[in-house]
Amino acid sequence: MSTSPSTPPTPQTITKSLICQDCTVSTGVQIAIGTVVHPKASVIINEGAGPIIIGENNIIEELVQIINKSPEPLNIGSNNIFEVGAYIECKSIGSGNVFEPKCKVLSNTVINDQCSIGAGCIVSENRILENNTVISQTSSSQIEIKSSIPYENHTSIHTSHLELLHKSIPLFHTMKKTQL
């Protein structure tokens, strides 16, 4: 079937997850279609803890640590990006969030949808971040605001990023065999 010049190109359909061989994923972690786990990332379930359930189209970059120490499941929504060195040990994560490099989200914290945790920021224990919360840091303090940036901006960039990763990562890294 041909397309006319006025028809925009169709985005690539992503039909599997990519889990690099050189990462650590505990038994009991469920990873949905489209998610990319980079080399040196760790998704760990501590002894006696509940499962980690990761939704579709997440990006988990190098040196990220996602850890469940709770007996309850750690549910992670879809379309999140965990950038290099992020440390995540929270209760649950919604969808469309950005965790910038070396941020820390501590235990029993709930991150709702479309939040952004800035580079090097620490979200303390027992917090609930409402939708569109942005946490950033200056040299002397941490700032928390509500964002008015439309979710579609994140989605379009995130989709392009995923498509690029699904094309390029298998060229340079060995993948783990997955069920997807």
Within-domain flag for 39: yes
What letter represents residue 146's amino acid? K
Is the pLDDT assigned to residue 108 strictly greater than 50?
Answer: yes
Q: Give the pTM.
A: 0.85
Tokens linked to 50: 């509940």
Within-domain flag for 40: yes
Which CATH number belongs to the domain containing residue 101 in this structure?
2.160.10.10
Instruction: Using pLDDT thresholds of 50, 70 and 90, give the confidence band for residue 55.
Output: very high
Within-domain flag for 178: no
Rg (CA), the chain: 17
Within-domain flag for 10: no
Is the pLDDT assigned to residue 14 strictly greater than 90?
Answer: no
Beta carbons of 128 and 105 less than 8 angstroms apart: no
Instruction: Using pLDDT thresholds of 50, 70 and 90, give the confidence band for residue 73.
Output: very high
Within-domain flag for 4: no
Predicted confidence at residue 144, as pLDDT, reads 82
Predicted confidence at residue 56, as pLDDT, reads 95
Predicted confidence at residue 4, as pLDDT, reads 42
For tokens 């750690």, name the residue. Answer: 74
Q: Average of pLDDT values for 43-72?
A: 97
Nearest Cα neighbor of 132 from 107, 149, 120 is 149
Within-domain flag for 43: yes
List the single range of 90-99, 144-153, 161-170 with lowest mean pLDDT: 144-153
Within-domain flag for 161: yes
Is the pLDDT assigned to residue 13 strictly greater than 60?
Answer: no
Within-domain flag for 47: yes
Predicted confidence at residue 166, as pLDDT, reads 86
Tally of domains within the chain: 1
Predicted confidence at residue 3, as pLDDT, reads 43
Predicted confidence at residue 150, as pLDDT, reads 63
Boundaries of domain holding 79 = 18-172
Question: 42 has which bridge partners?
Answer: 24, 65
